[in-house]
Every structure is written in C-alpha cells, then in structure tokens.
Amino acid sequence: MEDTESRLSEAVKGEDRLSTGVRGLDRILHGGLIPGRTYMVRGQPGTGKSVLGLHFLTDATTAGDNEALYINLEESEADIRENANSFGFDLDGIEFLDLSPDSEFFVNDLSYDIFTSDEVAEESITEKITERVTEVDPNIIFIDPLTQLRYLSSDDYQFRKQVLSFMQFLKEQETTVLFTSQDTESEPDDDLQFMSDGIIHLGRSSKGRTIEVPKFRGTDFESGEHSLTIEYGGLTVYPNLVPRQHEQKFDAETLSSGVPELDQLLDGGIERGTVSILTGPTGVGKTTTGIQFMKEAAGRGERSVIYSFEEGKGTILHRCESINIPIREMLDREALQIEEIEGLQLSSDEFAYRVRRQVEQEQAKIVMIDGVTGYQLALQGDDQNLTTELHSLCRYLKNMGVTVILVSETRDITGPFQVTAEGLSYLGDTILFLQHIEVDGQMHKAIGVLKKRTSDFERTMREFQITEYGVQIGDQLTELRGILSGTPEWDDSEQGNIGDN
C-alpha cells in the first residue's frame, strides 16, 4: 500500500515539510506539515485524533533524526502504549510526559477539584512541561488533548494566555506541535482554532469517516471532505479525485469488439479514452457484451478490470465459460481482474482510489462498472454526491486514456424505451442499448446505437443473440416497426422471420 501511495501521490515531500505519516493525508497537505508551526486535530470522540498523533510521532522518529515527545493529559501512558500496540505502532524512541490523573489523585487529595482553579497545580504542570521539554529537546511534540488544560485555568482569558505563552515557548524551541482538541457545546474550541497554523478536522458523514482541512497557513491544500478508514495499521486517507490533475497522452484509436456486425453498428467499435454505456433490462446481455470488448483487449495484450456491484464472480465465470469466452485464461494471464464490491463497505473516494491503483500501477486499459445502480446502492454516500463522483471518476479515466464501460439496467423488461434508469446518459460518448422484444408471441432481443459522439454509426437495429458460440448479431431489423415499444409489428403486414440468421 505504501508503494502504491508513493506512486499515486503527486506531492513530493520537500525538505521543508514533515510527513504526517498518514497515507493520503500528505497529498491533501501538498507534502505534509510545515516545521516549527502548530497544528490542531479536532473531532468527536472515536474519530481517530490520537491515532493520527501516533502516525505523526512514529513516522518522525523512524524517517529521520527527530526527537519526539508525547504529552498525554487524559489517557495514561500504559493505556496509550496498549492502544498503539493494537494498531501495530512501535513507540520505541518516543518520549512521554504523563500528566494524566491517576487513582491516587482522588484517594489522597479528595479536597482538590480539577474543574476549579488551583495555582499550585498550574505551576506544577507548567514546571513539569518546561522541564521535560528542556530535557528531551524535541522537535516534534504531540499534546493529547490540549483542551484538558482549560480545566486548570480560572477562566477563558487565563487559558488563552497560558496556551499562547506555551506555544510561544515551543516556537522558540523550533518545535512542530500537533495537538488534539475536545470540542463540546459547553466548551467550544474556537479560541484554539485562531491560535493554530492549521486545522485537521475528523468527522463522520453519509459516506463514512471523513477528514477535512479547513485551514492551513502558508501553503495551498486540497479542500473538501475526504474519506478516511481506521483499521490495523492506523489511518488511511482517500483524497477526493480531481480529474484535471491527471492526464496522459494516448492514441485515440478505435477498439474492435471482435464481432463484425457489432463493429458495423458502431462504425468500427468504441474509441479509446471514451465512456460507453450499455443499457437495457435485466438478462438482456449487457455484461457479456462488455466482456466481449475485454476479450479482444486481452488478445492485444491489454489489461481490463470489472467492478461487479450486482453479480458474483462465480456467476460471471460460469456464464462466460458457457458461451466460449476464455475468461479463466484471461484471469490466469492477468489480462482481466474481477473485483466484487460488497454493499456499504467502501466510500466513493476509496473506490476511486482502487480504480486509480489499477490504472496507474497495473496499467488497466478498460474499466467496466457493472452496474451503475449497484454502484449507487453499494457505496457510502447520497445519490447526488455519488452521481457527481462517478462523473469525476469517468472524467479521470478518459484523461488517462482508459476506455470506460458503464452497465446500466433499465426497469422494464419491455415497454416504452428508456435510455438509463439513473439519468446518466450525458456521461456516455457512446450509448449501446439492448432490448427485449416480443415478436409473434416469442421473446427476442434487439440491439442498436442511440448515440456516438466520436463518429457516425448505423441507425438501424439488429437482432441480438447469445449462443454457445458467444455474442451474435443478426441482420438489420428493417421490416419491423415499433421495436423500441417492446412489441413491434411487421411492416405492411408482411410476415417475416426473425431468429433464423
């Protein structure tokens, strides 16, 4: 994953930046934190503030000649080390100043109230911090949480004065400071936000855990809400995809399907670096048609990826094997990869990251999303945002010269023609539709091209069949009228034959 992130990242860590240690976050910060400044990490309990601090400390001590100090004001050092171990962090080389309250605090001095001012306690803590900073001489400090000092101040004015003085002291030591804040309705942290050079906000939204940088003095950064996951190993950030930041040269050639009649419909095939929508009702053959293009790509030595939101990998394998598509051979040669996407397990940002990894690291040339409705149901987020993010993903893929196939299922088996159920026809450079039709009391299938931006196309419809020999396209259905209604009639009452091509 680290190798992948380094390849995907376009922000090169300069000598004037300190890495946060979090995959993806340095990209948002255009390289990392500026040394000698103070940064605030805020968010509700359980959003990962302390874990981010552990990333910062451990990366600093392992990646360079840095002295790191963890000032803990709430959790004990023992608890922190236990939690760090559960995530796989090695805290060797990190110094601690444990200012967390212990049981003796209440047993031996019941008269002391931590929520009231106590000058002796204030001086004691100040003294401890000053002595420890002088002793360790750190250039990296993590304070968790700084807002705990508020309870040891007589009022907000004294707290702000204390913090400003403390930060000035650390600045004089040329120290980079990261601190956490507990923002509550009764005790907001607005004052700390003004004092900070940068703010990293951790939260939750409809698309799961999120991270946002509302403030970062002295440099540009990637704004907006980005996805975040927490698992063994710590945090991983999935920055929003910005298509204009990604582009590479490619030949805009036409890609054959390997089926001559289908290529005739499409004026030779579909173009590289375009989006094709295969639309139609369930069971009509959309996925199989898409895989036909991938079969030809494998013959050219190109790699394709299917993201299946609605079918299992086993179902796809069985269907392809039954119609003479050598899909297992394609998988064995790594000319094809099939990824099943489980419902509500990924955010759209994390899904886009997976796609980018296939394109930029594995050199995938065709990407199929099967299907669009499943994409909207399976990924975390609301429909409007998912539609916008699918648009961004398609734009990125086109910029990278990748051919995109979107499989869109319409609701009705037959009946009035519907382009797509999701209203995404504007995304398609090419729209290839398949339709169930009833002719003389029997079910048949028809195929046609509704739209093609890059070239002309055949405007008639043809019979479509999937046989044991694969995809077969019949003659033009010029003798039928009303095909798009689902119940066509023969022209001039002349009885014809369909299905014997």
Give pLDDT, residue 176.
94
- Tokens encoding 446: 């028809």
Residue 355 domain-assigned? yes
Query: Both 105 and 214 in a single domain?
Result: yes
Q: Which range has the worst mean pLDDT, 259-263, 266-270, 369-373, 438-442? A: 438-442
Identify the band that residue 470 occupies on the pLDDT scale cut at 50, 70 and 90.
very high
Among the candidates 215, 239, 263, a domain finishes at: 239
- pLDDT > 90 in the chain, percent: 59
Query: Both 163 and 27 in a single domain?
Result: yes
Give pLDDT, residue 111.
40
Identify the band that residue 415 occupies on the pLDDT scale cut at 50, 70 and 90.
low
Who wins on pLDDT, 340 or 425? Answer: 340
CATH number for the domain that contains residue 100: 3.40.50.300
In DSSP terms, which residues pair with 449 in a beta bridge? 432
- Tokens encoding 276: 């094709």
How much is the mean pLDDT over the chain?
86
Angle of the 119-136 helix axis to the 156-172 helix axis, nearest 10: 10
Query: Both 369 and 266 in a single domain?
Result: yes
Give pLDDT, residue 115.
37
**Is residue 275 predicted with pLDDT exceeding 90?**
yes
Residue 475 domain-assigned? no
- Tokens encoding 184: 């509550």
Q: What are 69-101's pLDDT values in tens digits? A: 999 999 999 999 999 999 999 999 999 999 987
Query: Both 18 and 74 in a single domain?
Result: yes
**Is residue 107 predicted with pLDDT exceeding 70?**
no
Residue 170 domain-assigned? yes
Q: What predicted TM-score, i.e. pTM, was given to this entire model?
A: 0.83
Identify the band that residue 167 occupies on the pLDDT scale cut at 50, 70 and 90.
confident
- Tokens encoding 34: 């500026």
Query: Both 165 and 198 in a single domain?
Result: yes
Distance from C-alpha of 243 to C-alpha of 389, rounded to nearest angstrom: 10
Query: Both 215 and 310 in a single domain?
Result: no
Query: Both 313 and 257 in a single domain?
Result: yes
- Tokens encoding 487: 């119940």
**Is residue 13 predicted with pLDDT exceeding 60?**
no
CB-facing half-sphere around the CA of 405: CA atoms within 13 A: 28
Give pLDDT, residue 493.
52
Who wins on pLDDT, 10 or 366? Answer: 366
In DSSP terms, which residues pair with 480 in a beta bridge? 490
Give pLDDT, residue 500.
53
Residue 497 domain-assigned? no
**Is residue 14 predicted with pLDDT exceeding 60?**
no
Residue 462 domain-assigned? no
Distance from C-alpha of 357 to C-alpha of 305, rounded to nearest angstrom: 11
**Is residue 498 predicted with pLDDT exceeding 70?**
no
Read out DSSP for 268-313? TSEETT-EEEEEESTTSSHHHHHHHHHHHHHHTT-EEEEEESSS-H
Query: Both 193 and 295 in a single domain?
Result: no
Give pLDDT, residue 496.
56
Identify the band that residue 150 occupies on the pLDDT scale cut at 50, 70 and 90.
confident
Identify which of 149-153, 183-187, 449-453 has the greatest average pLDDT.
Answer: 449-453
Confirm if 435 and 279 have CB atoms less than 8 A apart.
Answer: no
Q: Is the peptide bond before 188 cis (omega within 30 degrees of 0)?
A: no
Q: What is the largest CA-CA distance in the chain?
A: 104
Nearest to 351 by CA among 434, 241, 256: 241
Query: Both 292 and 209 in a single domain?
Result: no
Query: Both 293 and 394 in a single domain?
Result: yes
**Total number of domains in the chain:** 2
Q: Could you list the beta-strand ranges (E) of 341-487.
A: 346-347, 364-370, 379-380, 403-409, 430-439, 442-452, 462-467, 470-476, 480-481
Q: What are 183-224's pLDDT values in tens digits? A: 777 777 888 888 899 999 999 988 889 999 999 998 899 999
Residue 442 domain-assigned? no
CA torsion sign, 29 to 35 to 40 to 43?
Answer: positive
Q: What are 27-41's pLDDT values in tens digits? A: 999 999 999 999 999
- Tokens encoding 492: 């001039």
Among the candidates 193, 216, 239, a domain finishes at: 239
Residue 489 domain-assigned? no
Query: Both 113 and 214 in a single domain?
Result: yes
Confirm if 230 and 48 have CB atoms less than 8 A apart.
Answer: yes
Give pLDDT, residue 173.
85
Query: Both 229 and 277 in a single domain?
Result: no
- Tokens encoding 144: 């968790």
**Is residue 340 predicted with pLDDT exceeding 80?**
yes
* Domain range enclosing 374: 251-434
Residue 162 domain-assigned? yes
- Tokens encoding 321: 């094997």
Among the candidates 188, 214, 239, a domain finishes at: 239
Q: Which range has the worst mean pLDDT, 82-86, 119-123, 215-219, 496-500? A: 119-123
Q: What are 278-319's pLDDT values in tens digits? A: 999 899 999 999 999 999 999 999 999 999 998 999 999 999
Burial 21-40 (b: 16+ CB within 10 A, else e): bbbbbbbbbbbbbbebbbbb
